[in-house]
Structure 1
């Protein structure tokens, strides 16, 4: 292989073999490379140096949007995919046990939405199949660069990630920040959307600007479930304003010709319908990815938020919709003080009742 890269692992031979298998050169138009180089660790060495080798041999680059570094855990194998948009063929090469193993497979997006097509691609590509199929085909479609950036972080494209992209776009268009203001996003119920919101709005759990909570009876139950609450905090006045959002999964299904129930088929991930539904819905949303108003809408009027409420909605066990007055509290078994939660205060009340000090 080429030896001018001071890299602990030389991937040039594997790249050249893949190019030869596809019958392409670095001058061939419509090539795209996906890789976890830069994330994977090989024999204790980082792999960001492989990016330079990929760029030189394939002609694809991060700067022109044709080289997409896909986020993976550091303990996953190093891999790359070269995708030919003209034929929809790709070569997938993965480095294990000191050598690359390469597989050529056609990953045409339309075929991937069928059970037989998905099964064949899954057999060839293994656990990276969903990532490769969805990201490569979205790139082929001409998806926006910042949408692909979200897919790199999330390591695949799915309708959940797309919903987060649409929500972030809606927020930017309708709730721009003023002087001294910042966003806090309460993802409740949380789904893949939060990863797109992290990337586009730089809201993260580590910076305490993104909080996620489950809320039963919403996702894949309602056609238009709650999606989350945006709080716009003014650090000068120490006051905030908030609004709850809903996301129209029913419209997603209509445009993609899928059923809401197919997102949770019998057998779960072992059922090809689990994957083909997500692929079909992901591709079905691409023509509308710049039209957030079609899917995202307020689920409440704007409301005021105090510093106490801002801190409270981040706490475990607190329903943010109840805390902020979006919905009425429901009776909670064991909640004796009426605050909508079961806490140590309720235990004390029960103890007092047990010794006859009070009557419930």
Structure 2
């Protein structure tokens, strides 16, 4: 009996010890096994509320759209990696969770990370090519910041993880919306969608989401995808930049190491973000110079240059020489083919501003490999030295005047009006002076 009691005591102690070890070693992945893929990058303890937020966003979308991990017909859009929550918590780790939990990735072309300011909200959108449905979720920044504060301050990471996972979706996300955004539907019933845009159904990100989703649905070219991430939406202006890139690939290609494009964006428009994203021709690296043209200056351009897009220089750094093309983009033809009026782009009081952009986006995408339909060379010329190139880029210089495409401004002539004093005024002054002298003389005589 004593032996039995001793054995029982040992077994009880062993059981207690094992349970204690199990509790000590427990992880959030025990409660949520599908978090396990994240442990390829971080330990279970290091899965932060930021990771869990992205995980929960994917789970909300999976439930509402009915997709599984790795579905190639799902597109994920997000600004994760740009917002900084409470100005101290970067959001880049959300991208790890998005990729590992959804199976969507940049390499597969179905994870698009758009550029946004650091102070804007963190959001995720999930679009189904099969149904046209889109789920949008926007983080509650205050809740996220409070749980990140608690997670960083405590050693008991698991308790914070569990508490965050126990929150209802409506508390974690300040906005959850589900809408059909298929391009066919939006273009056939623009008034209905315009009302939703006005109400910011996707937190003010509607245009970004519908344009990128529509172009991705059609088969998004890699250069346009890269440009869209920087520009944070797709519009005809951005697409015109990709068409110019394709034109330069054919007519002024980079052929050797040490060659690069230097761009004079005169005038600038959305196209120039495409060159920065695809060519790395950025302003900060002095590979892009930006100048505005006034309406009066544009009127002075020859007819073939009315839609001038800029000066594109293939520069050879080793030789200190280059060759340049002045290019134009035919907006009139683009509007005619798309069946829209150019004035619609500025009609922000109705649906026409986004309708025109979305419709032309899809039309221009058909011409990505035929840029000559819209892009033309206005002028071409060699640049024989760096000083020649610099002379076109200096402040106060109009490069089109230097190239003879535009007349030099005429010096301003100022007319100065000088008022002439009439003769009678001089006579009056003389009489008054004589009278004053006489008065002074009379006064002096009386004194004497």
1:149 deviates by: 1.3
Equivalent residue, structure 2, for 1:52: 96
**Runs of 4+ off more than 4 Å:** 221-224
Query: CA offset at residue 332 of structure 1?
Result: 4.5
Partner of residue 112 from structure 1, selected from 186, 210, 233: 186
**Higher fraction of helix:** 2
Map 1:55-134 → 2, pairs under 5 A: 55-96=99-140, 97-98=142-143, 99-100=172-173, 101-113=175-187, 114-123=190-199, 124-134=201-211
CA spacing shift, 1:110–1:280, aligned 2, 3 Å: same
The CA deviation at 1:324 is 2.7
Alignment of 1:185-264 (within 5 A): 185-217=263-295, 218=298, 225-264=307-346
State how far apart, in whole Å, the 2-side matches of 1:273 and 1:295 are. Answer: 23
Contact 1:233/1:241 (CA < 8 Å) preserved in 2?
yes
2:227 to 136, 146, 150: 150
* Alpha-carbon separation, structure 1, partners of 2:241 and 2:214: 19
Deviations 1:166-188 (A, max 9, x none): 11111121112354433210011
Matched with 2:24 is: none
What's 1:139 paired with?
216
Q: Which runs of 5 or more residues in structure 1 are unaligned? A: 337-349, 351-360
TM superposition shift of 1:326 = 3.1
| 2:363 aligned partner | 284
For residue 203 of structure 2, give the secondary structure of its aligned residue in structure 1.
helix
| Distance of 2:191 and 2:274 partners within structure 1 | 28
User: Aligned-residue CA RMSD in angstroms?
Assistant: 2.5
Which structure: larger Rg? 2
Q: Unpaired segments of 5 or more residues in structure 2? A: 1-31, 37-43, 144-171, 416-448
Partner in structure 1 of residue 26 of structure 2: none
**Cα pair 1:107 1:121 within 8 Å, conserved:** no
Higher alpha-carbon deviation: 93-102 or 203-212: 93-102
Q: Indicate the SS of the match to 1:32.
A: strand
Residue aligned with 1:282, SS: helix
Q: 1:254 to 1:88 in 2, by over 3 A?
A: same
Structure 1 range deviating more: 186-195 or 247-256: 247-256
When normalised by structure 1's length, the TM-score is: 0.85
Q: 1:60 to 1:233 in 2, by over 3 A?
A: closer
How far apart, CA to CA, are the structure 1 residues paired with 2:123 and 2:320?
A: 48
Secondary structure (helix, strand or coil) at the match of 1:289 reads: coil
User: Contact 1:162 / 1:285 at 8 angstroms: preserved in 2?
Assistant: yes
Shift of 1:129: 0.4
CA deviation after TM superposition for structure 1 residue 135, in Å: 0.5
| Aligned partner of 2:240 among 149, 154, 163 | 163
The alpha-carbon distance between structure 1 residues 286 and 177, as it changes in their structure 2 partners (threshold 3 A), is closer
**Per-residue deviation at 1:300?**
1.3
1:310 paired residue number: 389
Deviation at 1:313, TM superposition (A): 2.3
What is the distance in 2 between the residues matched to 1:47 and 1:136? 23
TM-score by length of 2: 0.69
Partner of 1:343: none
Q: Is the 8 Å Cα contact of residues 134 and 157 (structure 1) preserved in structure 2?
A: yes
Instruction: Decide whether the 8 Å contact of 1:244 with 1:326 is kept in 2.
Output: no
The answer for the alignment partner of 1:344 in structure 2 is none
Change (3 A) 1:34 1:130: same
Q: Distance in 2 between matches of 1:65 and 1:136?
A: 12
Return 100-109 or 223-232, whichever deviates more.
Answer: 223-232
